[in-house]
């Protein structure tokens, strides 16, 4: 019974670590903050692995303060939630190790903000009600505002201003949608709301649909779905590599929210509000893939190319989700893990390349040979092959699953050409970037700026994670199928939350 109380630790660990890091530590303050951060990230990885293992056999429900659902706050760890928590922990540790070699000293309180960001992300994955989803959204957003500005500069300020204005608007719409749904259903617990929405008829059902569509707009903004994507490329391209790498999981919070809410509350059994936004998701997802692919081809900076790669991944996942069946959701989840790891690795790698190239930085033009030229070239080559989807790497496996999930003639006719076309444009853009940066270099002495092994190791660790998806593709695919089945038949989740109410605090 005591083990179930551990579900709250992935939230308490980063919160307590951040509070400790805000304390004055004297002359060696930064070193102490780094130590606290690494210990917290390592501990959270262990906790995430434990949650992941336990959730194989049961859904863990924790009622804070002994207030049972639907009246109290509950944390719920099912297969999807624990998968996302584990992915966040796997990403957070190597990215933090990378940052601890100097980048965290570019601005104030990076270490504490990093931990608050992890708190917000993990809380969003584990919460069982919509209001606390809003609260954790705000925690991660407030942290992200400061992290985007880390290091300063006019470009960062402009990108951050756009990001802040859009997300403040999104937060206001989120609150309005919660008010609408609470007024109609009398609850914000997701499991309880699923039953209440399904029973609505007449005008009440129409109002619930309106509230659900407002939620869709909010989550689409967080996920960067077209036409609400325009904040992402400049924000991700202008910030530091470590922040952009951590933000590789940020858009996945919006995608997670869409999966969770629109399979449970507005799923096929939701009556009048069933399959809300499904048709829109298909067309907007396809358009997002197209715009992202064109952005990749037109970019002249490596960081911007990677930002548009994130956009393509968003469109791919949400288009796949719109198909609605469990095979599509399984393929989406496999692709989600792949894209998060490889784009995070690319953002870190772009930082290494930019610093070692000097004035040309990450621009896709001829530049000086780098101090660790061959090592960075090899890492870029592996990352590029993985994100493009060259067989047998994880990009190929995940895209193959997605293409196989297209069942109808219309789905095949639209999805196959767009996915394959976007892959071809990725190949052109990344080949151009690789040849300009690593092959066609200027004559003369190589740049003398180099980086420590820990930063290379952090980048390699993320690439190894992406490659491991290929090696263990059958096992990973089996887990994703089980997760998709649990999502498309949410009765187990609902009965776990409302039936036993969880454990006491």
- pLDDT tens, residue by residue, 258-298: 999 888 888 787 777 777 777 788 899 999 999 999 999 98
| pLDDT computed for residue 503 by the predictor | 43
| pLDDT computed for residue 1 by the predictor | 53
Read off the pLDDT of residues 419-452 as tens digits, 9 standing for 90 and up: 999 999 999 999 998 888 888 777 767 676 777 7
| pLDDT computed for residue 444 by the predictor | 67
| pLDDT computed for residue 361 by the predictor | 81
Kindly tell me if the per-residue pLDDT of 504 is higher than 60: no
Read off the pLDDT of residues 291-314 as tens digits, 9 standing for 90 and up: 999 999 988 999 999 999 999 999
| pLDDT computed for residue 14 by the predictor | 94
What tokens does 93 get? 């540790």
What is the DSSP track for 172-209? HHHHHHHHHHHHHHS--BHHHHHHHHHT--HHHHHHHH
Kindly tell me if the per-residue pLDDT of 315 is higher than 60: yes
Kindly tell me if the per-residue pLDDT of 100 is higher than 60: yes
- Phi and psi, residue 301, nearest 5°: -140, 135
Distance of alpha carbon 16 from alpha carbon 46, whole angstroms: 17
For range 37-59, the mean pLDDT: 91
Kindly tell me if the per-residue pLDDT of 250 is higher than 90: no
- Phi and psi, residue 129, nearest 5°: -140, 155
| pLDDT computed for residue 502 by the predictor | 42
For range 392-418, the mean pLDDT: 89
DSSP count for the chain of H helices, then E strands = 20, 2
Q: What is the mean pLDDT of the chain?
A: 88
| pLDDT computed for residue 273 by the predictor | 75
Least confident of 32-46, 81-95, 434-448: 434-448
CA-to-CA separations, 45 to 60, 102, 115, 144, 475, in angstroms, rounded: 18, 23, 13, 21, 20
Read off the pLDDT of residues 345-384 as tens digits, 9 standing for 90 and up: 999 999 989 888 878 888 888 877 887 888 888 999 999 9
Domain ranges of the chain: 278-471
Full-model pTM? 0.92
Which one, of 8, 500, 489, 37, lies nearest residue 263 by Cα?
489
Q: 181 near 130, Cβ under 8 Å?
A: yes
Residue scoring higher pLDDT (6 or 464): 464
Report the range out of 17-31, 55-69, 80-94, 147-161 with the highest average pLDDT.
80-94
């Amino acid at each position: 019974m005591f083990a179930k109380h551990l579900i709250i630790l992935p939230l308490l660990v980063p919160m307590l670590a951040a509070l400790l890091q805000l304390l004055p530590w004297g002359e060696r303050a930064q070193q102490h903050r780094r130590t606290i951060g690494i210990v917290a990230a390592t501990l959270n990885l262990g906790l995430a692995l434990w949650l992941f293992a336990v959730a194989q056999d049961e859904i863990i429900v924790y009622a804070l303060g002994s207030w049972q659902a639907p009246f109290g706050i509950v944390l719920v760890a099912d297969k999807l939630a624990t998968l996302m928590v584990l992915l966040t922990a796997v990403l957070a540790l190597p990215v933090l190790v990378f940052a601890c070699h100097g980048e965290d000293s570019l601005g104030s309180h990076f270490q504490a903000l990093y931990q608050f960001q992890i708190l917000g992300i993990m809380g969003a994955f584990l919460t069982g009600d919509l209001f606390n989803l809003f609260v954790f959204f705000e925690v991660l957003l407030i942290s992200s505002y400061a992290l985007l500005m880390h290091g300063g500069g006019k470009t960062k300020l402009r990108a951050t201003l756009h990001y802040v204005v859009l997300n403040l608007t999104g937060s206001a719409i989120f609150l309005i949608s919660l008010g609408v749904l609470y007024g109609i259903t009398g609850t914000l617990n997701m499991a309880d709301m699923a039953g209440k929405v399904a029973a609505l008829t007449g005008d009440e059902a129409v109002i619930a649909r309106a509230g659900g569509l407002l939620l869709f707009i909010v989550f689409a903004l967080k996920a960067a779905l077209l036409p609400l994507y325009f904040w992402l490329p400049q924000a991700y391209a202008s910030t530091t590599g470590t922040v952009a790498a951590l933000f590789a999981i940020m858009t996945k919070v919006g995608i997670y929210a869409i999966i969770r809410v629109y399979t449970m509350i507005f799923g096929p059994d939701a009556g009048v509000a069933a399959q809300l936004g499904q048709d829109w998701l298909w067309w907007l997802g396809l358009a997002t893939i197209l715009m992202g692919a064109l952005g990749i081809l037109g970019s002249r900076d490596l960081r911007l190319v990677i930002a548009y790669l994130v956009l393509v991944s968003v469109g791919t996942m949400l288009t796949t989700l719109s198909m609605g069946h469990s095979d599509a959701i399984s393929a989406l989840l496999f692709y989600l893990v792949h894209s998060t790891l490889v784009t995070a690795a690319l953002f870190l790698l772009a930082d290494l390349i930019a610093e070692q190239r000097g004035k040309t930085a990450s621009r896709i033009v001829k530049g000086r040979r780098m101090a660790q030229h061959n090592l960075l070239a090899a890492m870029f080559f592996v990352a590029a092959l993985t994100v493009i989807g060259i067989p047998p790497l994880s990009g190929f496996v995940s895209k193959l699953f997605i293409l196989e999930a297209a069942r109808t003639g219309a789905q095949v006719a639209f999805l196959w050409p767009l996915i394959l076309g976007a892959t071809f444009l990725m190949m052109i853009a990344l080949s151009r970037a690789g040849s300009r940066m690593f092959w066609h270099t200027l004559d003369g002495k190589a740049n003398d700026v180099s980086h420590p092994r820990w930063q290379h190791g952090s980048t390699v660790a993320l690439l190894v994670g992406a490659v491991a998806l290929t090696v263990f593709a059958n096992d990973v695919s089996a887990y994703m199928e089980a997760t998709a089945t649990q999502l498309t038949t949410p009765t187990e989740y609902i009965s776990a939350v409302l039936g036993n109410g969880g454990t006491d605090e």
